[in-house]
Copies of this chain bind each other. A is one copy, B any other.
């Protein structure tokens, strides 16, 4: 990290921490598209970001169409939204939405990245809708001094394999790659950009005058897929964006602009972060940039997964077996348990694990073994599909 970058980050921290929390020791956290840190208070985030909670009424409305609720919704992993009722209103009138989500290639995909995409796949299946998946391959290049376009190109390919492996319907899924599809996108991006001032991005993202002009412009490119399908199809289509909550500042800005261009204001549905292995208090989301050991990558082999979980997953258990049997573990801070809330779909099983761990009947090692088994089983399938995806990349890249 350069000094300039460092000072930018500091400014961002100051700004966002200042805006968003009371700075008391335990509640300090930062959530921006470039940085997520600290023990995030999601309830607070709802009011700070101005998103709405997914309440019981809305859950019921969703289940009317989907038949069942994804466990990510049941467990408040997808916890907030903007204008989801509008999307359902239109859907009920026969006006189908399209989905838009994305991935900025800058490294290998880890298991936390998959969360919003798995949910997006579920939405695609349940509502039978198109997905526009953006790979803004310039974003991280513009925001990370040391990253060059050869790196992002390599990761672009690798990351596409992970997305395809999740089983999206190639007939209904279109990959949009910024540097490749700029011929379609730039003309739309300038329409957005004309209506966003430096003051606006300064406030939304905490930029200083030392920010580069590509990074300043970038949010306009991220806005484009929210209305590009309407441009290409020649009709106004509602857009629903499933995304991790840190991306909200981009859409907060673009939601103000897109209706002025004659399209629907995009709706969104937001998820929490899968906590890092080191624990939630230290790390808001799993970060692939803080060293290989701290994360599980989609390409990790079973032995590596086992080693990482056993070695790094923060435990809510007691120091000795005796104490654990007596006092029980604390699943609420135990990372292995928290990860199971993301990856164990069966509520009954999860409750059973919770109770057994809390009572001391289940030891930390046993809990970890359940998670390891779950992850390795998931990854075995994922890696097989990821290999198969190598032959299918072209089916997914939008070609008009």
A47 at the interface (CB under 8 A from B): no
Contact residue among B196, B202, B214 (Cβ-Cβ distance under 8 Å from A194): B214
Instruction: Tell me the chain A residues, 185-240 only, with Cβ under 8 Å from chain B.
Output: 185-187, 189-199, 201-202, 207-217, 219-220
Quick check: A190 and B214 within 8 Å, CB to CB?
yes
Residues of B within 8 A of A212 (CB): 193-198
Minimum distance in angstroms from A137 CB to a CB of chain B: 9
Quick check: B183 and A198 within 8 Å, CB to CB?
no
Quick check: B186 and A178 within 8 Å, CB to CB?
yes
- Where chain A touches its partner, the secondary structure class is helix
Interface bin, chain A: 35 or more
Residues of B within 8 A of A190 (CB): 138, 141-142, 179, 214
A196 to B211, CA, bound (A): 8
A180 at the interface (CB under 8 A from B): yes
**Copies of this chain in the oligomer:** 2
A182 at the interface (CB under 8 A from B): yes
Minimum distance in angstroms from A241 CB to a CB of chain B: 20
A181 at the interface (CB under 8 A from B): yes
Contact residue among B178, B180, B194 (Cβ-Cβ distance under 8 Å from A141): B194
A187 to B179, CA, bound (A): 5
Residues of B within 8 A of A149 (CB): 187, 191
A142 to B194, CA, bound (A): 6
A364 to B153, CA, bound (A): 66
Quick check: B213 and A196 within 8 Å, CB to CB?
yes
Minimum distance in angstroms from A177 CB to a CB of chain B: 10
Minimum distance in angstroms from A248 CB to a CB of chain B: 18
Instruction: Tell me the chain A residues, 298-312 only, with Cβ under 8 Å from chain B.
Output: none
A-to-B contact residues, CB < 8 Å: 138, 141-142, 149, 178-187, 189-199, 201-202, 207-217, 219-220
Task: List 8 tightest A-B contacts by C-beta distance, closest first.
Answer: A193-B214, A183-B183, A182-B186, A217-B217, A179-B187, A182-B182, A199-B209, A138-B190
Q: List 30 A-B contacts (CB under 8 A).
A: A138-B186, A138-B187, A141-B190, A142-B190, A142-B193, A142-B194, A149-B187, A179-B187, A181-B183, A183-B183, A186-B186, A189-B214, A192-B214, A194-B215, A195-B212, A196-B214, A197-B209, A197-B210, A197-B212, A197-B213, A198-B208, A198-B210, A198-B212, A201-B213, A213-B216, A213-B217, A213-B220, A216-B216, A216-B217, A217-B217
